[in-house]
């Protein structure tokens, strides 16, 4: 009887998950129309950047709005590409982030996905407590702790919808080229981005920074929180939609990230059929500025909107006779290559990573980099550098 009950429960969960996925897949249609916008009173414009609210989905029967900063490049000719920007935990809509993309020639909108503005109510330096506004939707509840609620009351449902609505809003602007809008998210925003690129096919490219899917078996706090969370695993994990990702994606992170394991990121990007580029930046750090300051996201975005594909890729990586070998294709000159390896096990963010020079030889339309693996190596990748830009091979675990 107990076995039968378990089987019936499993069937019920699967049927419910299938229904929920259909609703999630229908979000793009739900959010396809440009939302109504409102000037955000009390927030002063800064050049071409201004604060707005835009209509979002209802929550618990009440209308909601999203606070955002939106701006256009001060100098532009014709239609410009665009960016939807999604913050991480402890963040909000950042005016500075919009300005950075404006300086690169992109229209941009930075959205607040937890019903907040950018008014900090906490006066303690280094700590932020963003004021919630009158039309706030749900705030994030822990690590997908709200998956027992009805689907349309869960935070991730609204965060994804907010991101797609921001896309619809940018697409409606006469100054913006609707075919050249990307999405970038940092940390929790990276989790959202890694899922939304499998749902909103209108995006031209994506840049999940740190965040990814496949986190239910992570060897840190993510795994502890999500190992038995069926709602995450069956509905919200971006892996469920990875086979729909046809657009170019830049997976941006670093080896010592304390939150997102390199193995989980690799599981996710290996399942996506579209063009991918990986950049694991040594000593990058984990924060909003650390995510948006490197030149890599801007160079990637420009290459996609100008040529339709990333400026670089690594089509193969393998171990042969104790040597790590990776092939790189690049439209920019590769100046050097480095093997990054570890002999430790466990969570990647707490392993010791060692860099050793790699030999790089051009030929056959690409660059092949190779280096002997230190004895006892458990994981490795090779970084190839084009000036200040990082092009990384697929992450390799040695069992």
pLDDT for 18-53, tens place per residue?
Answer: 899 999 999 999 999 999 999 999 999 999 999 999
Tell how strand 176-186 and strand 80-86 pair up.
parallel
pTM strictly above 0.75: yes
pLDDT tens readout for residues 195-243: 999 999 999 999 999 999 999 999 999 999 999 999 999 999 999 999 9
Sign of the torsion formed by the C-alpha atoms of 11, 24, 200 and 264: negative
- Give which of 390, 383, 326, 378 is closest to 347, Cα–Cα: 378
- CATH topology for the 25-310 domain: Rossmann fold (3.40.50)
Instruction: Evaluate if residue 1 carries a pLDDT over 80.
Output: no
CA atoms within 13 A on the CB side of 37: 20
Q: Are strands 336-342 and 205-209 parallel, antiparallel or unpaired?
A: unpaired
Question: What residues does CATH 2.60.40 cover in the chain?
Answer: 315-397
Q: What three-state secondary structure class fits 103?
A: helix
Domain with CATH 3.40.50.1820 in the chain: 25-310
CATH 2.40.160 fits 315-397, yes or no: no
Position 126 scores a pLDDT of 64
Q: What is the pLDDT of residue 363?
A: 81
For residues 168 and 31, the answer to whether their CB atoms sit within 8 Å is yes
Q: What is the pLDDT of residues 70-122, one digit of tens each?
A: 999 999 999 999 999 999 999 999 999 999 999 999 999 999 999 999 999 87
- Please determine, for residue 164, whether its predicted confidence score (pLDDT) is greater than 50: yes
């Amino acid at each position: 009887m107990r076995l039968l009950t378990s089987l019936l429960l499993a069937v019920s969960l699967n049927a419910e998950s299938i229904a929920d996925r259909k609703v999630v897949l229908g979000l793009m249609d739900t959010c396809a129309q440009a939302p109504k916008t409102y000037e955000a009173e009390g927030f002063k414009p800064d050049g071409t950047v201004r604060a707005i609210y835009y209509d979002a989905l209802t929550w618990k029967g009440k209308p909601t709005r999203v606070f955002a900063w939106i701006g256009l490049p001060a100098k532009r000719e014709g239609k410009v590409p665009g960016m939807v920007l999604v913050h991480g935990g402890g963040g909000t809509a950042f005016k500075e982030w919009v300005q950075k993309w404006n300086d690169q020639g992109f229209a941009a909108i930075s959205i607040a996905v937890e019903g907040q503005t950018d008014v900090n109510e906490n006066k303690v330096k280094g700590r932020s407590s963003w004021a919630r506004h009158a039309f706030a939707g749900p705030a994030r509840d822990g690590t997908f702790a709200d998956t027992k609620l009805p689907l349309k009351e869960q935070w991730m449902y609204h965060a994804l919808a907010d991101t797609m609505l921001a896309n619809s809003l940018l697409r409606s602007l006469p100054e913006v080229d609707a075919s050249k809008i990307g999405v970038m998210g940092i940390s929790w925003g990276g989790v959202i981005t890694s899922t939304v690129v499998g749902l909103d096919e209108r995006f031209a490219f994506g840049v999940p920074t740190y965040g990814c899917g496949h986190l239910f078996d992570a060897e840190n706090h993510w795994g502890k929180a999500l190992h038995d969370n069926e709602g995450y695993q069956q509905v919200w994990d971006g892996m469920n939609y990875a086979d729909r990702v046809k657009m170019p994606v830049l997976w941006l992170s670093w080896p010592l990230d304390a939150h997102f394991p390199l193995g989980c990121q690799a599981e996710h990007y290996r399942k996506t059929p579209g063009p991918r580029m990986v950049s694991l930046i040594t000593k990058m750090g984990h924060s909003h500025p650390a995510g948006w300051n490197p030149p890599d996201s801007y160079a990637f975005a420009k290459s996609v909107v100008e040529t339709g594909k990333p400026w670089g890729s690594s089509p193969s990586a393998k171990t042969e006779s104790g040597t790590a070998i990776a092939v790189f294709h690049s439209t920019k000159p590769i100046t050097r290559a480095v093997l990054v390896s570890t002999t430790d096990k466990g969570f990647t963010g707490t392993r010791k990573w060692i860099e050793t020079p790699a030999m790089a030889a051009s030929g056959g339309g690409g660059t092949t980099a190779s280096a002997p693996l230190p004895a006892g190596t458990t994981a490795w990748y090779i970084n190839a550098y084009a000036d200040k830009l990082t092009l990384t091979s697929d992450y390799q675990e040695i069992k």
